[in-house]
Structure 1
Amino acid sequence: MELSTTWSGCLLLSLIAGLASSLEITSTGPTSINMASGQSVKLDCQFSLAPEDSGPLDIEWSLVSPDNQNEDKVVILYSGDRAYEDYYAPMKGRVHFNSADPKNGDGSINLTGLKSSDSGTYQCKVKKAPGIRSRKILLNVMVKPSKPRCYAEGPTQEGKDIVLRCISSEGTKPLQYSWEKTSDTKLLPASAVMDPMGGTVNIRNASASASGIYRCTSSNRVGTEECVLNLSVTPPPNTPGIIAGAIIAVLLVLLIIAIILFCCCRARHRKKYEKEICNEIREDVPPPKSRVSTARSFTVGSQRSSLGSMSPSNLHEYALKPQYDKIPSSEEYDKPPSHAPLAPPTVPKIGGPNLSRMGGIPVMIPAQNRDGSIV
């Protein structure tokens, strides 16, 4: 009985010793890695084999699913002395074995052009029957802070509270901000209060000494970026002077408007007055007489004057005068030259001495042209 017990104990010890000398993962690197996007990283998986491990060698890298209900995604595979590097479509062309022949004990892989979607837990599993070993590495791909924007919020005047802000639009959180003054004393004002997480500096009751060049640095675990701000604290404005100037300017504008309106009204009134005067003058002027009426008036007048100057003894002779002294009618006046009246009959002229002996009084008769006008 004691012999059988001793034999069983020796067999168990030999099995334990055999297992201890089988396949092992020898990597001792970090199990958590933080990298920036766009960079490259090496995931270490070194192993050693034992004579007892006589089966085919398989090396499998997979991205462990955070949900136990989903399957892990195989990223790269080595099996049957062949590497399958384009096994995972999102990492196609970006994942490779570190060694050209992983059988020599180097199952590490290299990831290039890291993306934030590459973050996760990676597991290296080495199988060579009867040995099986695995190792997990947590990869956190972070985005570097983008170049921050620095600016002053609020009026930069003496006696006012000035807020300096620094913001990075991109970057994996948590982001931390730090401010420093790079000019003069290179110290922040005594009244300044800085918020590292919000990226602000509140300068209370700012004075002229707060003016200068400030630098803000935005950082996370994978990178830093910075920006520069030139702060100029100005004296407070002369408020009463500004108010007085504004009042004077308003009064000048009103005065100019009043002058323009006055000139417009005066010009309009003058134009209206001149128009009325012109209308009055035109109403007082009689219309011009026609040539026919003028001829008639002169002919009739001359005849009347002739008749008035003649004595009764001369009336008979005047009645015997030809008809050309008669005022033509409008129809006769408008006749064409082809229908002109016949020449009056010739009457013998009576000289002045004969007229005196006959008892007549000589009268000068003004000459007339054909249309009846006095010559």
Structure 2
Amino acid sequence: MMELSIGRFCCVLLSLFAGLVSGLEITSTGPTSIEKASGQSVKLDCQFTLAPEDSGPLDIEWSLLASDNQKEDKVVILYSGDRAYVDYYPPMTGRVHFNSPDPKNGDASINLTGLKSSDSGTYQCKVKKAPGIRSRKMLLIVMVKPSKPRCYAEGPTEEGKNIVLRCKSSEGTNPLQYSWEKTSDSKLLPSTAVLDPVGGTINVKNASASASGTYRCSVSNRVGTEDCILYLNVTPPPNTAGIIAGAIIAVLLILLIIAIILFCCCRARHRKKYEKEICNEIREDVPPPKSRVSTARSFTVGSQRSSLGSMSPSNLHEYALKPQYDKIPSSEEYERPPSHAPVPPPNGAKMAGPNLSRMGGIPVMIPAQNRDGSIV
């Protein structure tokens, strides 16, 4: 352990002695902290001087120091052996260059273009020329300019309500500061307005019609400012009773229309069903004859047919000569009043055959008949 401690002490003494005898010095005296906006360019200054005793090869190394001690530093650009190496750090490829085409003349400064928020960090310039080594650190803060904010009113914009006006920027490096102003009418914010410069809100309590107008919200940080415009229109409260009455009337009208449609459909359906039933009924094309005339004619014709069927040829000749059998009585004759009809014989009187012949009658055998006059 004693030997190890003596060895370390000797190394420290040698390094201090080399620093004392070396003429290498970093001469830059500019600020060690720089703030820039994204998209801009920055120059990280690192000027140095050499002495005749610095006879070793010149090496210049720029690195981005890790924020965590457990991680390694990232070499950004390197000059060694009279040659520049610019592709050490892929995220900065094409965006980092030495300020001087020949850094060995004493200018080890670099230029970073198209800055991004990820470029923020501590950069170290290390110049080595044996036996001397010198370095310089610089803090670069790349700030993002605020994006154009969005302005809108939250909640109902009615009289007597609390109206919240919001202003929000989606991008931008903190801290962001918000401010509101009214650009119309009196150009004064309502007396009941409460502004939140960090959250970007303005709360107008118990809003009145005078709060209507044009408002501008501005958001800013150390590298830029953006704004948006909002037009606020405070309206009177709605007529709730009128809205309810209108809704009820509209519902009743809809129900009435539906009822009319259903009624028409049912009526049309019943009419169609009735017409279909009428078409399926059996109809009599010719009406039947009058019952009395039909009965009289069937009776007379039946009687004549019965008489003719029972006669002999000799009697048939005599039957043809009698005028009363020449024709069938007409309906008018059949329907004559009883006063003109011959008086029938008394009930119960029986005519004998000789008496009937003496009276000029002809005995006739009438066959049996059914009700409709057909011969049985």
TM score, norm. by length of structure 2: 0.69
Partner of 1:253: 254
Residues 1:303 and 1:251: Cα distance change in structure 2 (over 3 Å): closer
Q: Distance in 2 between matches of 1:317 and 1:175?
A: 149
- 1:311/1:254 CA distance change after superposition, 3 Å: closer
Aligned position for 2:326: 363
Count of residue pairs the alignment pairs up: 304
**Mapped partners of 2:250, 2:75: distance in 1:** 79
Question: For 2:20 and 2:315, how far apart are their aligned partners in 1?
Answer: 178
> Aligned residue for 1:316?
313
1:196 matches 2:197:
yes
Distance of 1:315 and 1:210 partners within structure 2: 134
Corresponding residue number in structure 2 for 1:137:
138
| CA distance in 2 between partners of 1:72 and 1:278 (Å) | 104
* CA shift for structure 1 position 131: 2.5
Q: Secondary structure at the match of 2:254?
A: helix
Letter in 2 for 1:150: C
Structure 2: which amino acid aligns with 1:201? I
Secondary structure at the counterpart of residue 146 of structure 2: coil
Residue 63 of structure 1: aligned partner: 64
CA contact (8 A) 1:122 1:137 kept: yes
Maintained 8 Å contact 1:126/1:132: yes
CA distance in 2 between partners of 1:221 and 1:197 (Å): 15
Residue matched to 2:110:
109
Q: Deviations over 1:278-333 (max 9, x none)?
A: 77xx36759999xxxxxxxxxx97994694497689763899xxxxxxxxxxxxxx
Partner residue in 2 for 1:178: 179
Q: Which amino acid aligns with 1:210?
A: A
* Consecutive unaligned residues in structure 2, runs of 5 or more: 1-15, 289-296, 329-376
Q: Specify the SS of the correspondent of 2:91.
A: helix
Range with bigger deviation, 235-244 or 157-166:
235-244
Shift of 1:162: 0.4
SS in 2 for 1:256: helix
Q: In structure 2, the residue corresponding to 1:237 is in which secondary structure?
A: coil
CA shift in 2, pair 1:41/1:243, >3 Å = same
Distance 2:126 2:26 in 1: 9
Distance 1:288 1:34, change over 3 A: farther
The change in CA–CA distance for 1:302 and 1:20 in structure 2 (over 3 A counts) is: farther
Q: Secondary structure at the match of 2:67?
A: coil
Distance of 1:158 and 1:358 partners within structure 2: 123
Letter of the 2:326 counterpart = V
Equivalent-residue separation in structure 1 for 2:263 and 2:319 (angstroms): 86
* Distance in 2 separating the partners of 1:74 and 1:287: 122
Q: Report the Cα distance in structure 1 between the residues aligned to 2:148 and 2:99, rounded to whole angstroms.
A: 34
Q: Structure 1 residues 313, 56: closer, same or farther in 2, change over 3 A?
A: closer
- Unaligned runs of 5+ residues in structure 1 are 1-14, 290-299, 320-354, 366-375
Q: Which TM-score applies when normalising by structure 1? A: 0.69
Separation (CA, whole Å) in 1 of partners of 2:116 and 2:315: 138
- Residue of structure 2 equivalent to 1:334: none
Change (3 A) 1:304 1:316: farther
- What secondary structure sits across from 1:38 in the alignment? coil
Cα shift readout 1:93-139 (whole Å, capped 9, x = no counterpart): 11100111112211110111222222211000112223221110111
AA partner of residue 256 (structure 1): I
1:48 corresponding residue in structure 2:
49
Q: Offset at 1:257?
A: 3.5
Contact 1:63–1:120 (Cα < 8 Å) also in 2: yes
> Is the CA contact 1:309–1:363 (under 8 Å) kept in the aligned structure 2?
no
**RMSD over aligned Cα, in angstroms?**
3.8
Correspondence for 1:156: 157
Given that residues 35 and 222 in structure 1 are in contact (C-alpha distance below 8 angstroms), is that contact kept between their aligned partners in structure 2?
A: yes
Q: Which amino acid aligns with 1:363?
A: D
